[in-house]
Structures are given as structure tokens and as C-alpha cells.
Amino acid sequence: MRIVVLAGGIGGARFLRGLLAAAPEAEITVIGNTGDDIHLFGLKVCPDLDTVMYTLGGGIHEEQGWGRADETFTVKEELAAYGVGPEWFGLGDRDFATHIVRTQMLAAGYPLSAVTEALCARWKPGVRLIPMSDDRVETHVLVETDGERKAIHFQEYWVRLRAAVPAHAVVPVGAEAAKPAPGVLEAIAAADVIVFPPSNPVVSIGTILAVPGVREAIAEAGVPVVGLSPIVGDAPVRGMADKVLAAVGVESTAAAVAAHYGSGLLDGWLVDTVDEGAVPQIEAAGIRCRAIPLLMTDLDATTRMAREALALAEEVRA
């Protein structure tokens, strides 16, 4: 079975662990979000690709959910001693090595997809990880501070400001001119099932869908497209997805996120048992829906979620 997953960082990566356990024989292609990418200290940092790579490769800081385990911060301290920031983005020494290798390869002319493949040769994530595009796409958020509106990089909004300022729009800058990376459209066309993990619907999956051709390819693939809600009990399980959903005019409910993807794209949707009451409404909108426990508390729970997603896909296919 060939499974394609559109993934952001933590939510996508943790789900993928369960999917690998639920479908060990499957060929899994992960299309990773690169809208979060940022240039820091002259280095190209790809937070979502790295979270997937480190999580599946056994290098992740488990409790934090991003960055490396057993990390030290000597380089960061030395940069701070020179007065060189930003100090709000936590890059550890081990992590720095990844960004140095990536930046060096990009400078040598390799596209990001080839660089990602090279990095994965070390981490062996057990999936094929492809960035959504080799072209630069950067998510910006239109915020209001001191009565003035300005667009800032997503990481500045998310990490520095903790999404605590009003946001009016989320713009994947560069997306309209970006091409899907080699292998992206091919993987979608060859897929038996397409899965939207519980990743951020706006700045993770939404950004991938904004690359011209991706949404169309998924809609036209003619295979089940199933998703799992990142919103449980009207709030994100983790993080501040409610803030970016509000910025694009979507309520923070499992039903509203399903409607946001729409029945033209999504065939099946899993909501948490606490949101069971929303099932009839989602089904009335033309999306097959089931309520099951959706908290990725451990590998067993996550594996059950992945199994349910695959079962829902078969139900939709039948």
C-alpha cells in the first residue's frame, strides 16, 4: 500500500510514528511543510522537515517535541556574547550541524529535496520525506502591534510573540510561484490513500496545499483522503492553532476545520470522542466521520489512531 501524508512538525511527526507501526509494510511518502523555513545566522533552517526527520530517526527531544535530544547551547551562547541574535529561536549545537550541512549543500547547487534525502540517509526515518517545494516559500503573518499592521515572518509571530498579538491574515509568500518538488505530484498520483495527520490546518497543511498543483492533484487522485482533527474539544491539543484559524476566519472546532478542507478534498475525518456531537453535522457536509480517542499520549494510542484512519479510508473507498 502506498500512503501519502502531508505533514507539519510535531503533530505530523508523532502521527507518523503510529502510522509506521500500524502499516509496517506500507510505502509512506511524507510531503513536508517548508513554509516555516527561516534563514538564521546565514543558515537555512527547516523546522518541520527536521522535526519529522529527528522524530522518526530517533534524535528528537521527546518532551519538547522539536530539536535534538541531549542538546547543548554553546554556539548560541557565543553568538549572544557577540550580541548576535535572534535570541528567541532555540538552535542547539547538534541542531546547528544539520543546518550547516543543509546550507552548504544548497550553496553547492543541490535542491532542498536532494539535501533532505541526503540528511535522511543518516536518520533513516522509514518514510520518504520530500519538501513540498524546492522553491522558497515563507509564511508571513499580518499582525497588529501598537495600532499598526505589518507582515512578519511566521517564526517571529509564533516563537517570539507566542501568537499573542492579533493576526489578520496568513500569507504563504512565494507559494503562488512555487513548483511542487520532484516526486510530490508523482507520489500523490500513485497513492492508495492520502492522509492529513493532526497537523496545523493553516500553517502546515494549508501551506502545502497552497503550492500550485498539490490541491488539484489530491482532489483528482481518485483515492480516499482522510484526516485527523488537531482540534479536540474546541481547542488545539498543543500550541496556538486557534489563533491562525481565527486569522483565516475558521472557528476552532473539529467540524469547522473539516468544512475548511471541504468535501471536495476530504472524504473522511476523525474527531475525538469529546466531539462526537459534531459527527452528524460533518457527515451532512458530505464527509464520512467517526469519533475515536485522538490523543497521541503514547505509541499504542497513536497506532490505534493510524489504524482507524486507514480503516476509515477503506470504508470510504467501498
The residues of the shown chain that bind Ca ion, judged by CB under 5 A, are: 8-9, 36, 48
CA distance 212 to 117: 23
Q: Which 227-246 residues touch ligand GDP, going by CB under 6 A?
A: 228-230, 232, 236-239, 241
Find the helix packing angle between 10-22 and 47-57, rounded to 10°: 30
Sign of the dihedral through C-alpha 173, 176, 177, 181: positive
List the beta strands (DSSP E) in the chain: 2-7, 27-32, 38-40, 43-45, 128-131, 138-145, 148-153, 167-173, 193-196, 225-228, 231-232, 235-236, 268-271, 288-291
The item of Ca ion, ligand GDP, none sharing an interface with residue 172, based on CB under 5 to 8 Å by kind, is: none
Does position 48 interact with ligand GDP (CB under 6 A)? The reply is yes
C-beta of 199 vs 253, nearer to Ca ion? 199
CA distance 91 to 94: 8
C-beta of 143 vs 306, nearer to ligand GDP? 306
- Closest CA relative to residue 260, chosen from 276, 246, 279: 246
The item of ligand GDP, Ca ion, none sharing an interface with residue 59, based on CB under 5 to 8 Å by kind, is: none
C-beta of 198 vs 224, nearer to Ca ion? 198
C-beta of 105 vs 287, nearer to ligand GDP? 287
CB 201 within 8 A of CB 242: no
C-beta of 9 vs 92, nearer to Ca ion? 9
Does position 10 interact with ligand GDP (CB under 6 A)? The reply is yes
C-beta of 98 vs 204, nearer to ligand GDP? 204
| Options 7-15, 81-89, 129-137, 175-183: segment touching ligand GDP (CB under 6 A) | 7-15
- In this structure, what C-alpha cell is assigned to residue 56? 522518526
Beta strand 268-271 with 235-236: parallel, antiparallel or unpaired?
A: unpaired
CB of 204 to Ca ion, least distance (A): 5
C-beta of 217 vs 231, nearer to ligand GDP? 231
C-beta of 12 vs 180, nearer to ligand GDP? 12
Q: Which 253-312 residues touch ligand GDP, going by CB under 6 A?
A: 294-296
Taking CA 102 as the corner, what is the angle to CA 181 and CA 185, rounded to the nearest 5 degrees? 10
Q: Which residues contact 149 (CB under 8 A, 6 or more apart)?
A: 142, 143, 168
Does position 217 interact with ligand GDP (CB under 6 A)? The reply is no
Exactly one of 9, 67, 180, 268 binds ligand GDP (CB under 6 A); that residue is 9
CA distance 62 to 71: 12
The item of ligand GDP, Ca ion, none sharing an interface with residue 230, based on CB under 5 to 8 Å by kind, is: ligand GDP
Exactly one of 125, 172, 198, 224 binds ligand GDP (CB under 6 A); that residue is 198
The item of ligand GDP, Ca ion, none sharing an interface with residue 12, based on CB under 5 to 8 Å by kind, is: ligand GDP
Does position 252 interact with ligand GDP (CB under 6 A)? The reply is no
CA distance 5 to 191: 10
- Closest CA relative to residue 5, chosen from 130, 151, 140, 148: 130
Q: What are phi and psi of 254, to 5 degrees?
A: -60, -35
Interacting residues toward ligand GDP by CB under 6 A: 7-12, 48, 51, 198-200, 204, 228-230, 232, 236-239, 241, 294-296
